[in-house]
Structures are given as C-alpha cells and as structure tokens.
C-alpha cells in the first residue's frame, strides 16, 4: 500500500474506523491474540488488566470475546490520543502476516477516505460534528409565532379585475399596431407588382418553349 501523506491522529475518525471494523479486527487477529496483546501492552495502548485477560484462557471467554474486549480498550485509548491509531496499525504490520497487513491497509484506507470526505466525528458519541452543529443551531432557534392575514375574497377579485383590464389595454394596443401596418400597404402597388412578376414569368416560359421546339425540329 502506498504511503499516505495524511497524518492519522484524529481521535474521532480513528475511533469511527475501528467501530466499523470490529468484526474484521476480531477475525484477523484471531490466530495471534497473545502476541498482539503483548505488543499493545508494551506500547501502553492497553493496561495491565486488559493484557492479562486477553491472554487468560481460563476465564471462560472465547478468544473472539477476549479480542473484542481488548479492541474496546484500544478504542478507549485512541479516543484519548488519536496518534494511537497509527501505533495500532504499525503493530499489526509488525506481525507480518497477510491478515494483519490487509487489516492495517483497510483501516488506513478507510481513515483516509473519511478525511477526504471532510467529515469529523465526535470521539465520545460517534456522531458527526456537522450533525451536532446542525442540531445545536436548530435547538437554539426559538419558535416564532406565525401571523396569518386573511385577505377578503372581494379584495382579490378587485385585483384580478385590474389585471384583466391591463391585459385588455395591452391587447388593444397590439391590434392597433397590426392595423396600422395594413393601412400603410398600397394595394394598387401590390397588384402592379404581381402583374410585372407574372409577365416576366410568361415571357421566360415562351422563350423556353421556343427553344425546345427548335431543338425538336432541327
């Protein structure tokens, strides 16, 4: 996995990543529970009591339960110090097994994705910071008394009548403009123009016919 330039020390995001992947962590760490507990203890990510419980096979707890309890304490440490997330993934990689390396890559990648999405998480509640901000803003807004004004129907009718009169006036003005256009047209000139065009077409038609006849009898 390519080295990321993101500094993974945000306790809220780190805690959220682990919360989402507890089952994967349990499955991946199953074969090396004791060694993992030793390394976490050496880095002071888990306390002495958790370390002993993780290694104690006489408690009646299954190995999955012991790993799950240990990861819960790891999350507590990360909530306090976000840089512990990087320490945790580094420890996974020192195990140098395919499951541990893959788990570390998954955790780092998911952390980076959340950073790129720009979402921050509250390390205590797990809620997004944006959700908390919206909730606080909403609760701070005091409800306003709405004022309802009942407009009489007769008043609205008067408004509609005025709008209708304006439309009528505009329509009359447009019709008058159209009428003026037709008044400006000299029909005699139009008739003369049509006659001239007709005569020209007739002359051209006769010339064309003469040409065709000449070609047939020549």
Which two tokens mark 57?
Answer: 């096979």
Predicted pLDDT of residue 168: 78
Say whether both 69 and 23 belong to one domain: yes
Is residue 216 assigned to a domain?
Answer: yes
Distance CA 114, CA 6 (A): 11
Residue 121 phi/psi, 5° resolution?
-120, 145
Distance CA 97, CA 87 (A): 17
Please state, for a pLDDT cut of 70, what percent of the chain lies above it: 73
Predicted pLDDT of residue 158: 62
- Give residues with Cβ within 8 angstroms of 81, minimum separation 6: 11
Predicted pLDDT of residue 149: 42
Q: What is the DSSP string of 139-157?
A: HHSPPPPP------HHHHH
Q: For the chain, how many structural domains are there in total?
A: 3
Segment 156-210, tens digit of pLDDT: 566 667 777 777 777 877 777 776 666 666 667 767 777 788 778 878 877 887 7
Say whether both 133 and 96 belong to one domain: yes
Is residue 148 assigned to a domain?
Answer: no
Say whether both 179 and 199 belong to one domain: no
- Give residues with Cβ within 8 angstroms of 93, minimum separation 6: 100, 101, 104
Which two tokens mark 172?
Answer: 């009359």
Report the mean per-residue pLDDT for the chain: 78
Is residue 115 assigned to a domain?
Answer: yes
23 compared with 142, residue with greater pLDDT: 23
Say whether both 54 and 91 belong to one domain: yes
65 compared with 200, residue with greater pLDDT: 65
Say whether both 64 and 171 belong to one domain: no
Say whether both 33 and 73 belong to one domain: yes
Say whether both 129 and 29 belong to one domain: yes
Say whether both 180 and 196 belong to one domain: no
Say whether both 32 and 133 belong to one domain: yes
User: What pTM value is reported for the model?
Assistant: 0.53
| Cross-strand pairs, 146 | none
Q: What integer is the mean pLDDT of 7-13?
A: 83
Cβ atoms of 54 and 69 within 8 Å: the answer is yes
Residue 128 phi/psi, 5° resolution?
-70, 145
Segment 196-213, tens digit of pLDDT: 887 788 788 778 877 777
Segment 126-164, tens digit of pLDDT: 666 554 444 444 444 444 444 444 444 554 566 667 777
| Structural domain boundaries, residue 97 | 11-139
Is residue 63 assigned to a domain?
Answer: yes
Q: Answer whether residue 73 shows pLDDT above 80.
A: yes
Q: What is the CA radius of gyration of the chain?
A: 44
Say whether both 180 and 190 belong to one domain: no
Say whether both 111 and 192 belong to one domain: no
């Amino acid at each position: 996995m390519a080295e990321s330039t993101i500094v993974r020390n945000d306790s809220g995001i780190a805690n959220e990543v682990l919360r989402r992947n507890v089952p994967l962590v349990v499955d991946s760490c199953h074969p090396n529970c004791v060694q993992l507990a030793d390394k976490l203890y050496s880095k002071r990510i888990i306390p002495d009591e958790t370390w002993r419980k993780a290694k104690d096979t006489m408690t009646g707890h299954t190995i999955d339960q012991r790993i799950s309890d240990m990861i819960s304490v790891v999350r507590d440490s990360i909530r306090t110090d976000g840089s512990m997330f990087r320490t945790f993934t580094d420890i996974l990689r020192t195990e140098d097994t395919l499951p541990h390396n893959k788990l570390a890559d998954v955790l780092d990648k998911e952390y980076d994705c959340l950073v790129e999405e720009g979402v921050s998480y509250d390390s205590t509640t797990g809620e997004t910071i944006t959700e908390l901000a919206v909730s606080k803003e909403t609760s701070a807004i005091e409800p306003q008394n709405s004022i309802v004004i009942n407009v009489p129907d007769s008043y609205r009718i008067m408004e509609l009548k005025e709008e209708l009169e304006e439309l009528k006036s505009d329509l009359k003005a447009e019709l008058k403009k159209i009428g003026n256009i037709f008044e400006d047209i000299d029909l005699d000139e139009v008739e003369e123009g049509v006659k001239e065009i007709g005569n020209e077409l007739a002359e051209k038609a006769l010339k064309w016919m003469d040409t065709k006849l000449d070609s047939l009898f020549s």
